[in-house]
Amino acid sequence: MKKFILILLVPFLAGFTTLQAQDRVLIPMDGSQTNHLKAYGVIFNHLVDGETGQWLLNYRGGSFMTTANNDIMRKLRVRNVRFEALSESEAVRIIQEVEQPNVNMASINLEAAPSIAVYTPPNTLPWDDAVLLALDYAEIPYDRIYDVEVLSGELENYDWLHLHHEDFTGQFGKFWSIYRNAPWYINRVQQLETTARELGYGSVRELKLDVVHEVRDFVGNGGFMFAMCSATDTFDIALAADGLNIVPPEIDGTPLDSDLNRRLNFDNTFAFENFELITDPYIYEHATIDIEVDLNRISESLDYFTLFDFSAKWDPVPTMLTQNHVSSIRGFYGQATAFKRNTIKNSVVVLGESPGRDQVKYLHGNYGEGTFTFYGGHDPEDYTHRVGDPPTDLSLHTNSPGYRLILNNILFPAAEKKKRQT
């Protein structure tokens, strides 16, 4: 009798198991993908909803795999993100292929979506912020914070912090020479000076230095920092010039300290060393970290930088940060366009450079328990974005490899912890 019942139960259980097997969805990130940027948003929001997924490093451009449900399928369709429905066995086969020891691929579990903060002033500025554009387009939620919030200790509520076109040296972006009479510049200076005064600082430089210290401590305690454009070099300059007045008198009315370059302390910095400050208020550069602008020498059509290859299994972090469907990416200018190789510390990992030109475009490093990534240039899809230019329409650049690097940084903190620590 018992045998009879068992014989009846087995097929039933097998069928039940089959019913329970979930379908999977693969979001390819190679050239077949219709909208790479929104794909990041879909997978990010999937994690926000409590789901998990996998990032298949170096598999078809760094594809994503997750369980299929109505919600994600609808999102993918509405956002025109190409996907492939897989059965469980197909998914297992792909994982096995990726995990083979002789291939440079790896599968990284994506767990919880990071909470994102973007350091940006509350008022509109006459230039776009590539990271904000990417986040908005990919529909990834974030909070805006600025000086008051940072100095109030709110950074501890976040996992990931973005800094874009900021000037942490207190020189208001060094726009003084061209824009000192422009209403937006006047407003910005006044607002910052008012904030500094209200918070008890003698100058904007001192205010920004404290902000830099807070961010430094945030990273040291395990936070992720991503900086682009002038936020990259000015962050390190502020750290190196701690306690020195490096702001020309034309800009803030106070005289410079003497012998500045000899007194810089490069032990404090994250990524850069052996640089010199540029204190001429008429020059739109902060230091010798940034490469020279030379629009005439190199044609835009030939200006590229190349991503390095890393071992997906042994170096998952830089591999995650360099996932892309192309290996060479079009260059783009910014206030800090790219970094001179001889100013980069040895402890830093170079992720992308312009070969033969000693210019590093994209780098990554560790500080304390956290990490930072610096990406030179202002807007990956605007070769020379100037003040007052309209913001880039990302719906025209749905497959932008330059923007993918930004979004890699957003997703990377979601990776399973043990994979991150390399």
Partner 1 sequence: MFKRLPFLILLFGFFLVADYGYSQTGDFQIANRLMQQQNFEEAKPILKELHQNNPGAYVFFDRYVECLISLNELDEAESVVRRQIDNNRSVTQSSIKLAEILHMRGNRDKAGEIWNETLERNSENIQAYYSVGSSMNNRREYQKAVEVYKTARERLNNPTIFLTELANTYMLAGLFEESVNEYYRLVINSPEQMGIVQQRLLRMRDDQLFEIAAFELEDLLFELDHSHAAYSQLYQLLGWLLLETEEYQRALNFARHYENQTQYTIYSLFSLGSQLQSATQYEYAAEAFRYYVENDTGSNRIRAMEELAKTYQMWSQYLQQHNLETDRRHRQLNEKAYNYGAKLLEEAPGYQNSNRVYSLLIDLSLDQFKDVDKAMRWLDELKASSGDQAYIYYAEGRISLFNRSYINARQQLTRADRATDNSNLSERSRYYLSLTDFFAGDYEFAEIQLRSLERRHTSYYANDAIKLRMWIKNGQRADTTGSVLKAIGEGLYSIHTGNYADALPLFEPILANANNPFADEITVELATLLPADYNRLNYLLLERQISAKPHSPLLERMMWDRAVLAEEIYNSGGLSMMETPPYMFSFFKTDDTSGRQLTSEEKFFRKIDAETTDSELQSVSDFNRQYISDLFEEIILQFPDGFYAPYSREKIQTFDLTPL
Task: State which of residues 256, 293, 326, 350 lies at the interface with partner 1 (CB under 8 A).
Answer: 256
Distance CA 398, CA 308 (A): 23
The residue (of 191 and 311) whose beta carbon lies closer to partner 1 is 191
- Least distance from C-beta 374 to partner 1, angstroms? 27
| Subset of 109-138 contacting partner 1 (CB under 8 A) | 137
Long-range Cβ pairs for the range 7-11 (8 Å, 24+)? none
Rule CB under 8 A: choose which of 101, 183, 200, 356 binds partner 1: 183
Q: Rounded to whole angstroms, what are the CA distances from 165 to 74, 228, 239, 364, 378?
A: 35, 7, 17, 18, 7
For 181, the token pair is 């009479």
| 388: contact with partner 1 by CB under 8 A | yes
Which of 32, 190, 265, 342 is close enough to bind partner 1 by CB under 8 A? 190
Of 254 and 311, the one with the shorter C-beta distance to partner 1 is: 254
CA distance 304 to 306: 7
Q: How far apart are CA 411 and CA 36, in angstroms?
A: 13
Please tell me whether residue 153 binds partner 1 under the rule CB under 8 A: no
284 is an interface residue for partner 1 by CB under 8 A = no
Minimum CB separation from partner 1 for residue 189, in Å? 8
With respect to partner 1, which residue has the nearer C-beta, 137 or 310? Answer: 137
Name which of 231, 234, 228 is nearest 378 in CA terms: 228
Let me know: does 172 contact 236? Beta carbons within 8 Å.
no
DSSP secondary-structure letter at 271? S
Structure tokens belonging to residue 281 = 């208020």
Using the minimum distance from each CB to partner 1, give the nearer residue, 183 or 243. Answer: 183
Closest CA to 48 of 129, 149, 130, 139: 139
Which part of the chain contacts partner 1 (CB under 8 A), choosing from 93-101, 149-157, 178-186, 310-318? Answer: 178-186
Only segment of 209-217, 252-260, 262-270, 337-345 that touches partner 1 (CB under 8 A): 252-260
- Under the binding rule (CB under 8 A), the answer on residue 198 touching partner 1 is no
Q: Which stretch binds partner 1 (CB under 8 A): 74-82, 142-150, 296-304, 327-335?
A: 74-82
Q: How far is CA 120 from CA 149, 164, 177, 284, in A?
A: 11, 8, 23, 21
**Size of the residue set binding partner 1 (CB under 8 A):** 26
Note whether 280 binds partner 1 by CB under 8 A: yes
DSSP string, 122-156: SS--SS--HHHHHHHHHT---EEE-HHHHHTTGGG
| The Cα angle at residue 376 between residues 144 and 287, in degrees rounded to 5 | 100
Q: How far apart are CA 328 and CA 304, in angstroms?
A: 6
DSSP string across 219-260: HHTT-EEEEETHHHHHHHHHHHTTT---S-HHHHSSPPPSSH
Min dist. Cβ of residue 138 to partner 1 (A): 12
Q: Does 78 bind partner 1 (CB under 8 A)?
A: yes
**255, 294, 300, 368: which one binds partner 1 (CB under 8 A):** 255
Residue among 24, 46, 60, 79 that touches partner 1 (CB under 8 A): 79
Instruction: Tell me: does residue 186 bind partner 1 (CB under 8 A).
Output: yes
Min. distance of Cβ 245 from partner 1 in angstroms? 8
Among 32, 87, 89, 187, binds partner 1 (CB under 8 A): 187
Binding site for partner 1 (CB under 8 A): 34, 77-80, 137, 180-184, 186-187, 190, 249, 253-258, 279-280, 388, 393, 395
